[in-house]
Structures are given as C-alpha cells and as structure tokens.
A and B are shown apart, each in its own frame.
Chain A
Amino acid sequence: MDETEPGKAAGSPSAAEVALQHVREAERDLAQAIGAEARAEHQLEHAIEELEAAEHREFRVIVNGRRTEVDKNRLSFAEVVALAFPKPPPGQNIIYTVSYRNGGDKHHPEGTLVAGQSVKIKDGTIFDVTATDKS
C-alpha cells in the first residue's frame, strides 16, 4: 500500500499543477509556431531573391549622391567602389571606406563593407564611398 502525504489524495494533481502543465503546453505550441514563421519568412526571402535574380530586376540605388540602376540584388565592395569611381584615380592601393544604409537585409539595414564582402540591396539603398585618408 502506498504511503501518501496527509491531506493529499494519491494520483490527483492539485489545481496549480494542472494549470502549470497547461502553461507549458501553450509555451511549446508558441515556440513551434514562431519557429515555423521564421522558416517561412526565410523561405519567402529566398524565393523573392531567386525571382529577382531570374527577372534581372533593376534596383535603384544611390552611390555618392548619384542615382543609378543596377541589374542585380547584391553588390560587392569592388562593385560599389567601381560605381563610385568609374575612372579610378592613380594609386591603386587606396583602401576605400564604404558605408551603406537602407540595405536589403532587414536585420542589418546599415553597415560598412570591406574588400571581399557584399550586401543585399533594394530600391533606395544608399552607399557612400571615399578614401578616409585625409587629416
């Protein structure tokens, strides 16, 4: 025969324990739903990116104050520098500083680029490019 605590019937959980169990179930459902939403969002972004690449869509961006159109949805550091300086000045070892804002990645809409990096763009992405070598 089971020993039970006085005043508590064996096998019947208290009202608080039942409520706590309900909270845990609801939290698990919510976490699964959030995960599903994030996956769907990511898939949608990827699909849109695919579509944009397939369409050769033009994007209107601003580089050093000049409005220009590009036919791809990502721009590399080198491409941005080339847009800013179509005729590169003498002195090929210049390291340019590139900053962008209104970028295509909504989680990182602004930032800087160094050689080898690229950034997703959208209509209205703004780049500023100059060699920050003056004192």
Chain B
Amino acid sequence: MSQQLISRSPDLKRLRDEGYDIEIRAGHLLVHGIPYVNSSHSVAKGTLVSTLTLAGDVTCTPGTHLAYFIGEHPCNMDGSEIAQIRHDTRAQTLGENLVVHHSFSSKPVSGAYSNYHEKMTTYATILSSPAHAIDPTVTAKTFAPIATDEGDSVFVYLDTASSRAGIGALSARFAGERVAFIGIGGTGSYTLDLVAKTPVKEIHLFDGDKFLQHNAFRAPGAAPIERLRQAPYKVHYFRDVYSAIHRGIIAHPYDITEENAGELAGMSFVFLCIDGGSSKKAIVARLEALGISFVDAGLGVELGEEGLLGLVRVTTSTLEKRDHVRTRVSFADAGSDDLYRNNIQIADLNALNAALAVIKWKKLRGFYLDLDREHHAIYTLSGNVLINDDKL
C-alpha cells in the first residue's frame, strides 16, 4: 500500500529513487538515516517526519512547513543546537508507533514548500551539513533495501531498478505470467537467475536430480559447502536461493515425462533446458497440443585440434511457427558425453545460452524490439558469430 503511494507520487518516488530511506507510517512521511551532529560532537542518525497531505492516493502540496524529528536535537559542529530551525522540544505521539522528540520550523523563501521532495531534502541538508563537515562520507542517501508487503508484490523487496530506469510499465508485461522451467541444470539455472528478477506471477521448477558438487561449478552464485553436504534436490536448492527475491517459486522434485506432461497446462511460457532424449520429444508434442510457446535451449562442445569449439542454440516455438523444431532439435538419447561432463569450466556458455533464451522470451512479450522474428538462433563459438534462421 505505502509503496504504491510512493510510486504514484512523483515527489516521494524521487526521494526513493535518489536513495532516501523513506517510509509511510501512521499517515506520516518518515525519512530515516539522516546524519546529524549531537551535543557530544559526534555524528548520529535520526529520522525526519512530516505530516502527509494526500488527494486519493497521491501527495498534494505539503500542508505545513513544520517538520518533526526523532533523535537528539541536531547541533552545529561546535555542539551548540541549530537555533535557526528550533520550534519545539517535547515527546509527541503522532500515531501508532510514531513518537517524535522535536519539531523544526524553516520556511522557504517562497513561503511554502511546493512538494515533499523539496521539503524533506531542505531539512535533511540543514541537519546533515555539520555532520558532513565532520565526516564527508556520511549521507542520507543510503539506498536502504525496500521491503514489500506480502500480497502486494511478487518481489520480497521493491524492484527499484525498473522504477529508477523508468521501464516499470514495460516490465509489467511479464506480470501475471506462469513460467515453467523443465530442467534446472547449467543453462536452466542461469535462465532462472534472470527470470526470477522479472515480475512473473509464478515460476515452476521441474527437475528430479540432486544438486551435487560438480553442479555448483555450472550454476550462478556460489553454493555453501554446508548446503552441498545436504545433497538437496536442484529444485529445492534453487527455490531456496531465489525465494530471497521472488515469492512465486514452486519446486517440483521430479522430471517431466510423457506421463505427467499434462501438469504444464496453464503455463504461459516454458523454458526447455534438458538434455536431448525421448522424453523431450513427448514434452514438445504436449506443449504444442496445449498451445504453449516455449524455447528449447541447448549447446554442444567438441574438442578440435587446437582447442574446444562449440555451438549454442536457442530454438523458439510459438503458435505462429512450430514446424521447424523437429529438424532443429535432437530428440536422440544423448549417450555418455564425457567431453561436456568433464569440462566444467564452460558455465559462460550456459550463461550465454540462458541470456539468449530470456532475450527471446522478452522479445515475444514486446519488451525488446524484434525485427528479425527468428525462431532459431545459433552462436558459433569459434567465430563469435550469431546466425538467425526460421524467421517469420
């Protein structure tokens, strides 16, 4: 609720985007972490408080130039209280869980503050200037993490990257999606790493394998040895890691096969990141029957006379184009491929495969411009070349 108010009010959003630690509590605006100098000449942190004048769910012009403060009375560098802003010093309860210690009065030259950004930054500057003179590194712009309320957002904390870049409306294109990952190995885990940072509604992970030591070398982040000793299922390991940022991750600790592929009904998109094999053929057929778009991501590495070479493939199947998949994707049971298995230092190829797959999904959703509309793309490692095929 309060984050919506902040997002819709340009002055509050600007405070948040600039890194101020703001909170709406008991109908008041709080700015935490304001550095000031106390009477013993040391730098402390306090909270500026203002009443909040609203129209519906956006801010209006501030109703008063007065502000409140939680903390000691702010001082000059010499320890004397800043007299120019002094108004009142007594504990006042402004609302539930909101007790202030001082009030300040500093009227702008124009007679009134035009918005809450102007008001709060003006007071913050007055309070912080002496502190800044003592320690130039202190700042009120702390970029403190912003938690969200459960039910408000799929994210555990607010997606400030999108709001700061002004692409919030674009990233909303992913909201409501139910995305499934079939296979959460090297490529699947890097794909998850990217998708978990989009506001999709649900992320379903399907994989029956355990997360073992060698997997840790082809996965994003760094797995602690204690977690490896527990030998968790891959889906549980990655659910636990990415639940730190996304609330909608659902783990299914088994493989998708011909028998249970019906569980994919209702998904809006599928990332197919499993080795070739007969079950892949059945999954593709079921996805087509269910009318679900998907990308199949795969790579291969060969040992040439002068070093490793390989191809990274992203094949896309949509309602508009599916016929090419059977000539492009191998459904043969992959034999034991010692080259891939033993060369674990190729996570960059998994990451590239994942990034190309996620870029294609975002193009299908209209987030990125897609002029070629290719449904098959091959990256050739030895020449650093990307080739598009099966264009619409």
Contact = CB atoms under 8 A, between A and B. Distances in A.
Nearest to A115: B327
Contacts of B275: 133-135
A66 to B, nearest CB: 5
Given A65-B305, A65-B307, A66-B305, A133 B183 contact: no
A133 B300 contact: yes
Given A95-B329, A97-B328, A135 B385 contact: no
Contacts of B378: 97, 99, 112, 132
Identify the interface centre among A97, A133, A135: most chain B CB within 10 Å of its CB: A135
Interface stretch (B26-34, B65-73, B334-342): B334-342
Contacts of B312: 132
A110 interface: yes
A134 B332 contact: no
B19 interface: no
A129 B389 CA distance: 16
B311 A97 contact: yes
Contacts of A90: 335
A133 B334 contact: yes
Given A94-B332, A134-B299, A135-B183, A65 B382 contact: yes
Interface size class of A (residues with CB under 8 A): 20 to 34
Nearest to B331: A93
A65 B300 contact: no
SS class of chain B's interface: helix, strand, loop or mixed? mixed
A97 B335 contact: no
A93 B332 CA distance: 5
Nearest to B333: A91
Contacts of B327: 95, 114-115
B382 A128 contact: yes
Interface in A64-123: 64-66, 84, 89-97, 99, 101, 110-112, 114-115
Contact of B332 (A65, A91, A135): A91
Contact of B188 (A114, A128, A135): A135
Contact of B331 (A89, A95, A114): A95
Contacts of A112: 376, 378, 387, 389
Contact of B187 (A95, A131, A135): A135
B111 interface: no
Contact of A95 (B274, B310, B330): B330
Contacts of B389: 111-112
B381 interface: yes
Contacts of B311: 97, 99, 128-130, 132
Contacts of B306: 65
Interface size class of B (residues with CB under 8 A): 35 or more
A134 B301 CA distance: 9
B315 to A, nearest CB: 9
B387 A133 contact: no
A61 interface: no
A93 B329 CA distance: 11
B185 interface: yes
Interface string B274-295: 1110000000000000000000
A135 B304 contact: no
Contacts of B187: 135
Contacts of A114: 327-328
B248 interface: no
A133 B312 CA distance: 9
B304 A65 contact: yes
Interface in B366-380: 376, 378, 380
A134 B330 CA distance: 10
Given A132-B300, A135-B187, A135-B298, A65 B330 contact: no
B35 interface: no
B334 A91 contact: yes
A135 B302 contact: no
Contacts of A91: 332-335
A91 B376 CA distance: 24
Interface of B: 183, 185-188, 273-276, 297-302, 304-307, 309-313, 327-335, 337, 340, 376, 378, 380-383, 385, 387, 389
28 contacts: A65-B305, A89-B335, A91-B332, A91-B333, A91-B335, A93-B331, A94-B276, A94-B332, A95-B331, A97-B300, A97-B313, A97-B328, A101-B383, A110-B387, A111-B389, A114-B328, A128-B311, A129-B311, A130-B301, A131-B330, A132-B298, A132-B299, A132-B300, A133-B275, A133-B330, A134-B300, A134-B334, A135-B275
Interface of A: 64-66, 84, 89-97, 99, 101, 110-112, 114-115, 126, 128-135
